[in-house]
Chain A
Amino acid sequence: MDSYTYECPSEINNQRARALAYEESISKLEVLARKRFWTIEPEDDTRSRFVVKDQRGRVICEPTHLYAVRGFFSQLPLQA
């Protein structure tokens, strides 16, 4: 193993933690969407941008990054 491809174990763990946190924030937003009978779908396989769609499949929030989707939900009135 040469020094260029070497990744120290802590770095791998960091990446794993970041990936888990990313998935967790997606699932949190999915819960918010499900409350309103909406869905959150990734724009493509990279799962970097997401679309919010309503029950009939109409796009409510254009493809954006997670932080913007979070902002989109935060400006809506509270839903139990």
Chain B
Amino acid sequence: MSWTSIFKRGEILTQGDRTELEAIDKSTSDLRKAIERIDREWPASGYRLDRLRDLANELAENPRDEDLMGRLTTCACMPSSLREGFQHRDVALGTLGQHLNRKLFPQKAIIHRVLKRALGVAEAELGRVERKEKTAAQEDGVEFLPSGKIIALQSRILELRNAIETYSEQIQDPPREVGNWREILREWL
């Protein structure tokens, strides 16, 4: 048994759902880029003066370099104390992350819908397999013992039920992390 034969491609995650999810992803691409840029370009605290000296040395050799000038400015504006050295990053990235989560929130409803569909399919498959095995056991005159396939289906159903139950239509404040829908769906489908 493979899961792809039960959760058929295109039936659980339909093309419409996929398009919707990708459209939401696409609408947040600028915000993601901004977050990545801050994450990449903002230096951590510590050794600020050393870094400034190095950048100034580089700038001295190439005074027209705008990128270098920008990095020098950023570095000069960063807090240098250990007590406040992390807060600038947390505030900027945290606020942007909240906006990102708020924009990604509609994905949760789609994921919920897809997982419900998967649960329905898994439950139907479980019923079918169980009935088949029970009649086979009855015909052979032996006690029915669920096979590995039934156990696997049951554990998958339990996981899916838990995942579906944790969904809430209301957005929290601050909004919780939505996560990558591809990774979330790959766990079950």
CB pair B150–A55 under 8 Å, yes or no, is yes
CB pair A57–B145 under 8 Å, yes or no, is yes
Residues of B near A78 (CB, < 8 A) are 162
CB pair A56–B162 under 8 Å, yes or no, is no
Residues of A near B150 (CB, < 8 A) are 55
CB pair B146–A56 under 8 Å, yes or no, is yes
Residues of A near B158 (CB, < 8 A) are 35-37, 79
What's the nearest-Cβ distance from chain A to residue B164, in Å?
A: 7
B137 at the interface (CB under 8 A from A): no
CB pair B146–A80 under 8 Å, yes or no, is no
What's the nearest-Cβ distance from chain B to residue A50, in Å?
A: 21
| Docked pose: A49 CA to B164 CA in angstroms | 34
**Chain A contacts with B in 12-70, Cβ cutoff 8 A:** 35-37, 55-57
| Docked pose: A57 CA to B144 CA in angstroms | 10
Question: B131-157: contact bitstring with A at CB < 8 Å (1 yes, 0 no)?
Answer: 000000000000001100011001000
| Docked pose: A37 CA to B158 CA in angstroms | 9
Residues of B near A36 (CB, < 8 A) are 158
Which single residue of chain A is at the shortest CB-CB distance from B160?
Answer: A80
Partner pick for A55 among B146, B164, B165, B166, CB 8 A cutoff? B146
What's the nearest-Cβ distance from chain A to residue B149, in Å?
A: 12
CB pair A55–B151 under 8 Å, yes or no, is yes
With A55-B146, A56-B145, A57-B145 known as contacts, the answer to whether A80 contacts B164 (CB < 8 A) is yes
Binding site for B on A (CB under 8 A): 35-37, 55-57, 78-80
Binding site for A on B (CB under 8 A): 145-146, 150-151, 154, 158, 161-162, 164-166
A-B contact pairs, 21 of them (CB 8 A): A35-B158, A36-B158, A37-B154, A37-B158, A55-B146, A55-B150, A55-B151, A55-B154, A56-B145, A56-B146, A56-B151, A57-B145, A78-B162, A79-B158, A79-B161, A79-B162, A80-B161, A80-B162, A80-B164, A80-B165, A80-B166
